[in-house]
Amino acid sequence: MVDHHGQIDNVMHESRLFPPPAEFSQQARIPTREAYDQLWQRAADDPVKFWEELGREELHWFEPFTKTLEWNEPYAEWFVGGKTNACYNCVDKHVNEGRGGRTAIIWEGEPGDQRTLTYSDLLEQVCRFANAMKSLGIGKGDRVSIYMPMTPELAIAMLACARIGAVHSVIFAGFSAEAIAERNNDAGAKAVITADAAWRRGKALPLKHTVDQALVKSPTVEHCIVLDRVNEAVEWKHGRDHWWHELVREASPECPAEPMDSEAPLFILYTSGSTGKPKGIKHTTAGYNLYAKKSFEWVFDHREGDVYWCTADCGWITGHSYVVYGPFSAGATCLMYEGAPNHPSEDRFWDIVERHKVTLFYTAPTAIRAFIKWGNDHVQMHDLSSLRLLGTVGEGINPQAWMWYHEMIGDEKCPIVDTWWQTETGGIMMSPLPGAIATKPGSCCVPLPGILPVIVDEDGDEVGVDKGGWLTIAHPWPGMLRGIWGDEDRYQEVYWSKVPGKYLAGDNARRDGDGYYWIMGRIDDVLNVSGHRLSTIEIESALVSHPEVAEAAAVGRPHELKGEAVAVFVTLKNAKPSDELREALKQHVRKEIGALAQPDDIRFTNALPKTRSGKIMRRLLKDIAAGKEMVGDTTTLEDYSIIAHLRDDEE
């Protein structure tokens, strides 16, 4: 069963099976394979009834819903006619039901400062900040951009928006001023919430300064609220800029949650697609809230007394669903950490796990690869015996990394939940249910109850066992996206046009003979760098906006830590290739998009290989970037334009 020998290079050959530990199953919400099968089947037989019951039981309703699902493909409305509030479900509900003294947030700043907030504390702070926003005229339906470090105030800002019915758009604090401005303008944001600076590896990153640059190009933004995190000097525009602490000092701690329509937008989160412009994925209130809660409870098997730590930043969907809305709805105690995993040293995460007795730990494969590289000593110097479950998200985890996680972090006693999902799905779609499903390293295992995946070929026909194909979802689910902000056509085109009647996820997958799913990568030009989505075209557009660049092609190449690194091929207008220019182009992409999009490799070439119809031969460039195709002294990229003609039909 447990095979520690033999080199496993390819997930396709993986056959090891790890049953759930007996003591875990005994106490689990879904304790056996049979219990999972029954639950999944009941949900599959009548998904609407299944979600109707959960909707009634799990959320607080100011007004009950009258219809569970209104489905006019591709538009879903869940829990129609009902009124609820996601902040109420996350905070007030616990306080009103006598759980106000329970710890909601254990926070650790990068320099080592710590804070603990109970659910009652959280309620008070959320109410004060909600009133502060109201005092600036921010209310129902207004869009608010949030560009903050991982502090409790980031969660408080999100919840306060939900409380008053404002729509938050969290922008990861690594994005550039250009990227912030683009998102502010697309959403028509009325306000931006930020901090003076954020701590990162001991340095203060000047967030307010970046926002100031963005606001020059963001005409809709009237207010900027600034948290004093680092005590950095900042520029100030009177009338527009407000200190967080000054606003909340004046604000009342009472602020009733606004009853919101089930389908009122809760947030927009921008993610990369296969065209240059980021997509503002729209999620709404009741369905998203329910799905985040239930998926959290099923997958992490949360119970009272757990200390749960999801290492994701709230700038990504994982931070939305599994730092804020899922765990808080479930009344969990969540650890939040502000900084880098290797500050002040490479054992920081394990030090945190030991000191706070973390029981449920959720991170990304890219982080696991870094831990492996840093060496076992950093792990072994800490007592990790509090851990009872481990999770991963963001990209596939290769079996070697899975085994290391299992042995070195989990001491062979913690189930690993490899969770497949997307910004668009709102919550985890496939994962082992940890008390019920035996795991296979590298597989995201099985669909959650109420989720009906189907793998199809390009004609939309279901493929057979072990055949790769497009991953689709056959029935609407409450957590699904409701659209792309301001772009209905793109919503229909990207997700609903190629396979009629089914949601097209954009990933390839296969299902094995045991019904386990294996994700096989994207079907489009989207890169996955350290678990984050980047569009090749976005990077190319950034490069071409540099005055010396004539044309650019971006591809992914395998990278030991990041999974994929960005490699670009550039043709120049007049300038001569040089290391200085290479560096300048890297900085240019950083400025246009953010550090996460900075290319690792830049190759200058006189021409890009193209098909007869003028399409860049990406597959060939990918092979070259990965070192599979030689481009040495004798072969130049131009020579490939000849090959291009021969390979026309490939592209």
The DSSP letter of residue 181 is: H
The DSSP letter of residue 555 is: E
Closest CA to 307 of 353, 361, 358, 363: 358
Q: Which of 25, 285, 419, 535 binds ligand PRX (CB under 6 A)?
A: 419
Structure-token match 């999944």, residue found: 40
Nearer residue to ligand PRX within complex by CB, 109 or 319: 319
Nearer residue to ligand PRX within complex by CB, 82 or 483: 483
Contact 570, 543 (CB under 8 A): yes
- Nearest approach, Cβ of residue 16 and ligand PRX (Å): 17
CA distance 46 to 44: 5
CA distance 200 to 213: 21
Which of 228-236, 259-267, 326-334, 421-429 is the region at the interface with ligand PRX (rule: CB under 6 A)?
A: 421-429
CA distance 412 to 554: 40
Q: Is 415 in the site for ligand PRX (CB under 6 A)?
A: no
Those residues whose C-beta lies under 8 Å from the C-beta of residue 436, and which sit 6 or more positions away, are: 20, 25, 28, 30, 31, 32, 33, 35, 36
Q: Is 79 in the site for ligand PRX (CB under 6 A)?
A: no
Residue 611, marked binder: no
Nearer residue to ligand PRX within complex by CB, 107 or 402: 402
Nearer residue to ligand PRX within complex by CB, 330 or 529: 529
CA distance 262 to 241: 33
| Size, binding site for ligand PRX by CB under 6 A | 21
Q: Is 318 in the site for ligand PRX (CB under 6 A)?
A: yes
- Nearest approach, Cβ of residue 420 and ligand PRX (Å): 4
Contacting ligand PRX within 439-468 (CB under 6 A): 444
Phi, psi at 225, each rounded to 5°: -100, 130
- Nearest approach, Cβ of residue 626 and ligand PRX (Å): 18
Residue 318, marked binder: yes
Residue 420, marked binder: yes
- Nearest approach, Cβ of residue 341 and ligand PRX (Å): 18
- Nearest approach, Cβ of residue 272 and ligand PRX (Å): 8
* Beta-bridge partner residues of 143: 167
Which of 332-340, 504-512, 550-558, 626-634 is the region at the interface with ligand PRX (rule: CB under 6 A)?
A: 504-512
Residue 252, marked binder: no
Q: What is the DSSP string of 357-404?
A: T--EEEE-HHHHHHHHHH-THHHHTS--TT--EEEEESS---HHHHHH
| Chain residue whose CB lies nearest ligand PRX | 423
Locate 295 and state its tokens: 């998926």
Closest CA to 432 of 590, 303, 566, 301: 301
Q: How many other CB atoms are found less than 10 A from the CB of residue 250? A: 10
Residue 394, marked binder: yes
Q: Which of 42, 60, 490, 522 binds ligand PRX (CB under 6 A)?
A: 522
Nearer residue to ligand PRX within complex by CB, 379 or 471: 471
Nearer residue to ligand PRX within complex by CB, 261 or 507: 507
Nearer residue to ligand PRX within complex by CB, 262 or 318: 318
Nearer residue to ligand PRX within complex by CB, 40 or 421: 421
Residue 588, marked binder: no
CA distance 621 to 615: 12
Nearer residue to ligand PRX within complex by CB, 522 or 603: 522
Closest CA to 393 of 411, 414, 366, 426: 366
Contacting ligand PRX within 369-408 (CB under 6 A): 393-396
Q: Which of 107, 300, 420, 640 binds ligand PRX (CB under 6 A)?
A: 420
Residue 311, marked binder: no
CA distance 519 to 397: 10
CA distance 421 to 534: 16
CA distances to 74, 175, 407, 506, 522 from 274, in Å? 20, 19, 38, 10, 11
Residue 183, marked binder: no
Contacting ligand PRX within 271-310 (CB under 6 A): 271
Residue 57, marked binder: no
Contacting ligand PRX within 139-168 (CB under 6 A): none
Residue 571, marked binder: no
Phi, psi at 210, each rounded to 5°: -65, -40
Which of 202-210, 300-308, 348-356, 418-426 is the region at the interface with ligand PRX (rule: CB under 6 A)?
A: 418-426
- Nearest approach, Cβ of residue 248 and ligand PRX (Å): 32
Residue 15, marked binder: no
In terms of C-beta density within 10 A (0-12 exposed, 13-18 middle, 19 or more buried), how is residue 628 classed?
A: exposed
Residue 342, marked binder: yes
- Nearest approach, Cβ of residue 547 and ligand PRX (Å): 32
Locate 589 and state its tokens: 């992409």
Nearer residue to ligand PRX within complex by CB, 519 or 570: 519
- Nearest approach, Cβ of residue 632 and ligand PRX (Å): 33
Locate 294 and state its tokens: 């239930």
Q: How many other CB atoms are found less than 10 A from the CB of residue 248? A: 21
Nearer residue to ligand PRX within complex by CB, 422 or 611: 422
User: Is residue 557 classed as helix, strand or coil in its secondary structure?
Assistant: strand
- Nearest approach, Cβ of residue 425 and ligand PRX (Å): 8
**Binding marks (x or -) toward ligand PRX, 528..547, rule CB under 6 A?**
x----x--------------
Structure-token match 């008053």, residue found: 164
Q: Which of 153, 186, 258, 507 binds ligand PRX (CB under 6 A)?
A: 507
**Length in residues, the chain:** 651
Q: What is the DSSP string of 454-498?
A: EEE-TTSPBP-TT--EEEEE-S--TTS--EETT-HHHHIIIIISS
Contact 583, 589 (CB under 8 A): no
Residue 530, marked binder: yes
Q: Which residues of 444-478 are buried (b: 16+ CB within 10 A; e: fewer)?
A: bbbbbbbbbbbbbeeebeebeeeebbbbbbbbbbb
Nearer residue to ligand PRX within complex by CB, 410 or 506: 506
Closest CA to 337 of 151, 104, 116: 151
Residue 598, marked binder: no
Nearer residue to ligand PRX within complex by CB, 248 or 444: 444
Residue 199, marked binder: no
Residue 485, marked binder: no
Residue 42, marked binder: no
539 membership: H or E segment, kind and range: helix 536-544
CA distance 539 to 598: 8
Give the residues lining the site for ligand PRX (CB under 6 A).
271, 317-318, 393-396, 418-423, 444, 505-507, 519, 522, 528, 533
**Which residues are known binding-site members for ATP?**
394-396, 418-423, 507, 522, 533
**Which residues are known binding-site members for CoA?**
200-203, 318, 342, 530, 590
**Which residues are known binding-site members?**
200-203, 318, 342, 394-396, 418-423, 507, 522, 530, 533, 544, 546, 549, 590
**Which residues are known binding-site members for Mg(2+)?**
544, 546, 549
